[in-house]
Amino acid sequence: MGKIAFIFSGQGDQYPGMGKDLHETYPVAQETYDLCDRIRPGTSTQCFDGTEDELKETKNTQPCLFAMELAAARVLLERGIIPDALAGFSLGELVAATVSGAFDSETGFRLVCKRGELMQREAEKFDTAMAAVVKLTPEQVQAVCSEYSDVYPVNFNCPGQITVSGLSSQMADFSADVKAAGGRAIPLNVKGAFHSPFMTEAAKAFAEELATADVGERTIPLYSNMTSEPYGDDVVSLLSSQICNPVQWERIIRNMIADGVDTFIEIGPGKTLSNMVKKISADVRAVSVAEYLAEVEAC
């Protein structure tokens, strides 16, 4: 029998109303939202009733996604669905770290609130954007990026899909060059050039914040965005450095599969990560948490 992994999504999948069904159906989810509301009043209201524009703001997106994802993970855990491995995409890695035991729920949520504030602060210093480049190889994307002073390949998602971050003033020409190379650049629903040098100061400040947090013992292997390998004792350096460095998502999934994972449950409001997993390997199962919960409740 293969292993199960929880994979936690990052920014871009948020939508008004996310998590409301969890809150209304499962007491442990309501407890999770109540905890988040005590620390950051209005979090559940933003998740359930916030506007799309409000949820696009990084300082709001990250706490709201964290709350929804932690609530969903706790619902599964309460039902005896215990993962053998964990990974999270960008901010999702902080949720995964919390579920692993590195942080208690309150500490994890306080950290994600600070992370969102720091990354928004840096994003507001520059007019930047992100785009998903499809139909090109990593080498092709890197070659196009090398023609621009401030456009960087930042998320290596799956075969044929790489995310770039850069100055908005350069993105139109960059997109045209991508098209000329046979690809397409799709603008993303985020505000900021995440996982690029534009986030260096946010990474430094977040490292200082992490250094003051109590780090507990992890009970479930946690794979790193930076290295694509399971964490050692370097929680502070890996969680902070990933803010301004590329996410090695395809490598993470391939390493998890090599380590015996054959079922991936995406913990988040959408299906972005599970769709990526399906493009990485046709030999494993990848489902959203909504789909998996429906199966569990039907048994």
User: Considering only CA atoms, which of 33, 6, 63 is closest in space to residue 267?
Assistant: 6
Indicate the residue type of 67. A
Instruction: State how far the Cα of 176 lies from the Cα of 184, in Å rounded to an integer.
Output: 8
How far apart, in whole angstroms, are the C-alpha atoms of residue 16 and residue 73? 20
What are 263's two structure tokens? 């079922």
Which residue reads 């139109």 in tokens?
172
Catalytic position from the list 9, 23, 175, 195: 195
One of 9, 23, 44, 90 is an active-site residue; which one?
90
CA distance 135 to 245: 23
Return d(Cα 65, Cα 44) in angstroms, integer: 10
* Best CA proximity match to 5, nearest among 296, 277, 218, 280: 277
Name residue 266's beta-bridge partners: 7, 288
Is 90 tagged catalytic?
yes
CA distance 133 to 279: 15
- How many angstroms separate the CA atoms of 32 and 44, rounded? 10
DSSP 162-209: EEEEEEHHHHHHHHHHHHHTT-EEEE-S-SS-TTSGGGHHHHHHHHHH
CA 225 to chain CA centroid, Å, is: 9
**Nearest to 170, CA basis, from 133, 122, 123, 128:** 128
Q: Supply the residues annotated as catalytic.
A: 90, 195
